[in-house]
Amino acid sequence: MNPILKLLVQRIALGLVLLFAASVLIFVGTTILPGDVAQNILGQGATPQALENLRAQLGLNDPAYVRYFNWLGGVLQGDLGTALTNGQDIATSMGGRLWNTLFLAFWAAVVSVPLAILLGLIAVRYRDRWPDKVISTITLATVSVPEFLLGYIAIFLLSVTFPIAPSLAMINDSMSLGAKLQAISLPVLVLVLTVLGHMMRMTRAAILNVMQSAYIETAELKGLRPFTVIARHALPNAIAPVVNVVMLNMAYLVVGVVVVEVVFVYPGMGQYLVDHVAKRDVPVVQACGLVFAAVYISMNILADVISILTNPRLRHPK
């Protein structure tokens, strides 16, 4: 088998194994949560017989492994179950929410990825000089601040003190693209600040590593401008680690938006998950957890695939 194809198959197989393991952990984690699902649904005034009937109806009396394989079988058929609190189909309710989360993550990526690479190039060009120190200090500071605090600071500055952006990121299908972008401006800003530092610092480190190569010295001896050497000769050969960290941060933009969505009351997956955690709606929590795990694992696999395809030593093995 072709070495690249073999590596790709191995990565995909590993991803499927990890997703299966994640499903087990999610199911076990939600199963051992304290409290009684039937009691939460019917309330404190429910009779013992009503509770027992509901437990039998929900299959809560079945062994854990039976409930797990019933749930997994439904997931494999595209059935994520039914929400206990409102009786709605989870997959249908989740569809719009997932699209909103992807919409938010997409625009955060559109801003953060080019900006991180550009700042990384500037930091390398002015290594150990004031532009490099300023960029590194600011991005390190934004990484160190929790997302919820960045969100509240953004609301205070840009919605209260200087009212130029809405504090609530409410969007719906009837809004135009411009109106949606205005509505999500603050959560996008917070997400950009959250992931920018990590991507910029990895870009800087990867390019600096390549700058020690002999062909970089040759390019410099030809009289090329320093920024041209960095952008045209160093960056393409440092793309593999840069792509890896970019894809990991893209996964975070989808999976790690829970706090940001709650702060800005954004109708995405994170808000949907938190609402149903408070209600102890176990099927919704399991479905959201599995979707988040699938997205994160898929993005990691994609990062591995791109890294393999951009590595000439793997494309042309000896």
Three-state SS string across 75-142, please?
HHCCCCCECCCCCCEHHHHHHHHHHHHHHHHHHHHHHHHHHHHHHHHHHHHCCCCHHHHHHHHHHHHH
pLDDT at 35: 65
**Gyration radius of the chain's alpha carbons:** 24
Structural domain that includes position 230: 94-282
Range scoring the smallest mean pLDDT among 132-146, 193-207, 234-248, 271-285: 234-248
Site of tokens 């149903």: 276
**Residue 34's pLDDT band (cuts 50, 70, 90):** low
How high is the pLDDT of residue 125? 85
| Residue 311: predicted pLDDT | 63
Q: What is the DSSP string of 149-179?
A: HHHHHHHIIIIIIS--S-SS----TTS-HHH
Alpha-carbon distance of 112 to 104, in angstroms, equals 12
Burial class (CB in 10 A: 0-12, 13-18, 19+), 163: exposed
In a domain, 232, yes or no: yes
For the stretch 65-114, pLDDT in tens is 888 888 888 888 888 888 877 778 888 888 888 889 889 989 999 999 89
Which amino acid is present at 209? N
Structural domain includes residue 274 = yes
The structural domain count of the chain equals 1
pLDDT band at residue 121 using 50, 70 and 90 as cut-offs: confident
**Range with lowest mean pLDDT among 54-58, 118-122, 276-280:** 54-58
pLDDT of residue 203 exceeding 90, the answer is no
**Cα–Cα dist 315/318, whole Å:** 10
What is the residue-averaged pLDDT of the chain?
83
Whether residue 5 lies inside any domain: the answer is no
In a domain, 60, yes or no: no
Of the candidates 113, 316, 124, 308, the residue with the CA atom closest to the CA atom of residue 210:
124
Q: What is the pLDDT of residue 272?
A: 87
Q: Is residue 102 part of a domain?
A: yes
- Position 153 in a domain: yes
Higher-scoring residue by pLDDT: 141, 54: 141
Q: Which two tokens stand for residue 291?
A: 């979707």
| CATH (domain of 256) | 1.10.3720.10
Q: Looking at residues 281-291, what average pLDDT do you find?
A: 87
Element (H, E) at 239: helix 239-255
Q: Is residue 291 part of a domain?
A: no
Inter-residue contact 151 to 264 (CB < 8 Å): yes
Q: Is residue 58 part of a domain?
A: no
DSSP 146: -
C-beta contacts of 18-25 below 8 A and 24+ residues apart: 18/297, 19/293, 19/294, 19/297, 22/289, 22/290, 22/293, 22/297, 23/72, 23/75, 23/290, 23/293, 24/68
Q: What pLDDT, on a 0 to 100 scale, did the predictor assign at position 312?
A: 59
What tokens appear for 122 in the block? 């500037």
